[in-house]
């Protein structure tokens, strides 16, 4: 099956110490190819840890990760990186500030292919220009500008191109607009939506903005204490307001409290 399949992912950090923390507590998720899932959850809920698990940053205690039919649970992180594009909150992360926009795009473009980065030809250059033009930020005339000179928003937009230029099987966005001003954040989010749908990418996007979480993509999950506690899509999600989403979460949290009370007798 194409897409992403997570089965019972479990991870406890610093086991056996006073700092022991179960960051993933049985995460199971089936994402079909082309699913654009927004991920909500409070600080420490396990969202970034989930991404790190998918990226192979640590060994899981338990669980299975299958990407486009391939079991990657034990695959090295650098091998997974060839098929997974990611973007983080910090616009400085993931790009080479001293290389030009063109060189950065070329690196991302040729990373997966066997040909060398130095073999970037005129056709590639034209392609990069066309992609940059589609961002509508005037970057198409700045191919020779050093990446480090761009503003945070321009850089995140260019990073988005870098992360998707090699047609990844999965795109992971970890609060990639959180450091941008609201107007620029909106622009980059709209761009995200466009690129993801144009290329039918499977994408998980972490955000703390519930409005964008419901407005973008086709499905929203909420994490709490290392678990996926809400998963809304389809008719239920269409037209859902932020207060309805909060009400659904409170329903769940209330149930948990009731259970605790029952457990505590
Ligand atoms: N490498 C690690 N070693 C020890 N504990 C960790 C490690 N990585 C994450 N944790 C812990 O796991 C929990 C989940 O962290 P995570 O970063 O996934 O949260 P998050 O949902 O991304 O939160 P935020 O919204 O603040 O980014 C936290 O309690 C964190 O301290
Ligand atoms: Mg995080």
CATH class of 3-97+170-264: alpha beta
Amino acid 118: pLDDT: 55
Task: Report pLDDT for 219.
Answer: 98
Q: How far is the CA of 60 from the centre of ligand 1 (A)?
A: 14
Residue 263 has pLDDT above 50, yes or no: no
Give the pLDDT mean for 61-79: 97
The pLDDT of 127-145, averaged and rounded, is: 89
Using CB distances shorter than 6 Å, the residues near ligand 1 are 13-14, 21, 23, 41, 43-49
Ligand nearest to the CA of 14: 1
Q: Which atom of ligand 1 is nearest to the CA of 52?
A: 18
Cβ of 167: how many Cβ atoms within 10 Å?
A: 11
Q: What is the pLDDT of residues 94-126, one digit of tens each?
A: 889 999 999 999 888 887 665 555 566 778 888
Q: Provide mean pLDDT across the span 42-63.
A: 97
What is the DSSP track for the chain?
--EEEEEEEEEEESTTSTT-EEEEEEEEEEEETT-EEEEEE-TTSSHHHHHHHHHTSS--SEEEEEETTEE-TTS-HHHHTTTEEEE-S-TTTTS-TTSBHHHHHHHHHHSSSSS-GGG--HHHHHHHHHHHHHHTSSGGG-TTSBGGGS-HHHHHHHHHHHHHTT--SEEEEESTTTTS-HHHHHHHHHHHHHHHHHTT--EEEE-S-HHHHHHSSSEEEEEETTEEEEEEEHHHHTT--HHHHHHHHHHHHHHHHHHHHHHH-
Report the nearest-CA residue for atom 1 of ligand 1: 13
How many whole angstroms from 88 Cα to the centroid of ligand 1?
Answer: 15
What local confidence, expressed as pLDDT, does residue 117 receive? Answer: 56
Separation of CA 23 and ligand 1 centre (Å):
6
Closest Cα to atom 10 of ligand 1? 23
Could you read off the pLDDT of 199-234 as tens digits, one per residue? 999 999 999 999 999 999 999 999 999 999 999 999
Q: How far is the CA of 242 from the centre of ligand 2 (A)?
A: 21
Write the residue with the smallest CA distance to atom 18 of ligand 1: 46
- The tokens of 172 are what? 């992971």
Residue 65: its pLDDT value, please? 98
**What value does the mean pLDDT take over residues 15-40?**
97
Q: Alpha-carbon distance 199 to 197, whole Å? A: 5
pLDDT for the residue 22: 97
CA distance 226 to 50: 8
Residues, CB-to-ion distance under 5 Å, ligand 2: 48
Distance in Å, CA 49 to ligand 1 centroid: 6
Res 264: pLDDT: 43
Ranges 19-28, 36-45, 152-161, 252-261: which has the least confidence: 252-261
pLDDT digits (tens, 9 = 90+) for 153-204: 899 999 999 999 988 999 999 999 999 999 889 999 999 999 999 999 999 9
Q: What b/e sequence results for 233-260 when a residue is b if at least 16 CB atoms lie within 10 Å of its CB, and e otherwise? A: eeeebeeeeeeebeebbeeeeeeeeeee
* pLDDT over threshold 50, residue 262: no
pLDDT band at 71 (very low <50, low <70, confident <90, very high): very high
pLDDT at res. 265? 35
- Per-domain boundaries in the chain: 3-97+170-264
Mean pLDDT for all residues in the chain: 91
Whether 260 shows a pLDDT value over 70: the answer reads no
Segment 105-112 long-range contacts (CB within 8 Å, at least 24 positions apart): 105/131, 105/158, 105/161, 105/162, 105/165, 107/162, 108/161, 108/162, 108/163, 108/165, 108/166, 109/165, 109/166, 111/82, 111/166, 112/82, 112/166
Please identify, by atom number, the ligand 1 atom nearest to the C-alpha of residue 49. Answer: 18
- Enter the tokens of residue 240: 């859902």
């Amino acid at each position: 099956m194409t897409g992403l399949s997570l089965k019972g992912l479990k991870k406890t950090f610093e086991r056996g110490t006073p700092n022991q923390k179960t960051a993933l507590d049985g995460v199971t998720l089936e994402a079909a190819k082309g699913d654009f899932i927004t991920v909500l959850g409070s600080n420490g809920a396990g969202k970034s840890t989930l991404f790190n698990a998918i990226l192979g940053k640590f060994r899981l205690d338990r669980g299975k990760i299958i990407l486009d039919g391939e079991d990657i649970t034990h695959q090295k992180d650098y091998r997974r990186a060839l098929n997974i594009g990611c973007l983080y909150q910090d616009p400085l992360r993931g790009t080479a500030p001293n290389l030009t926009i063109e060189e950065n795009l070329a690196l991302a473009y040729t990373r997966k292919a066997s040909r060398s980065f130095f073999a970037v030809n005129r056709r590639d250059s034209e392609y990069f220009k066309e992609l940059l033009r589609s961002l509508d930020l005037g970057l198409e005339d700045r191919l020779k500008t050093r990446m480090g000179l761009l503003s945070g928003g321009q850089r995140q937009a260019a990073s988005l191109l870098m992360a998707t230029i090699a047609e990844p099987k999965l795109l992971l966005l970890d609060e990639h607009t959180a450091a941008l001003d609201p107007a620029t954040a909106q622009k980059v989010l709209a761009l995200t939506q466009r690129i993801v749908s144009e290329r039918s990418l499977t994408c998980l996007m972490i955000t703390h903005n519930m409005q964008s979480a419901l407005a973008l993509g086709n499905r929203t999950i909420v994490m709490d204490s290392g678990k996926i506690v809400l998963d809304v899509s389809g008719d239920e999600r269409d037209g859902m307001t932020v207060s309805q989403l909060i009400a659904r979460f409170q329903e769940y949290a209330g149930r948990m409290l009731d259970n605790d009370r029952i457990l505590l007798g």
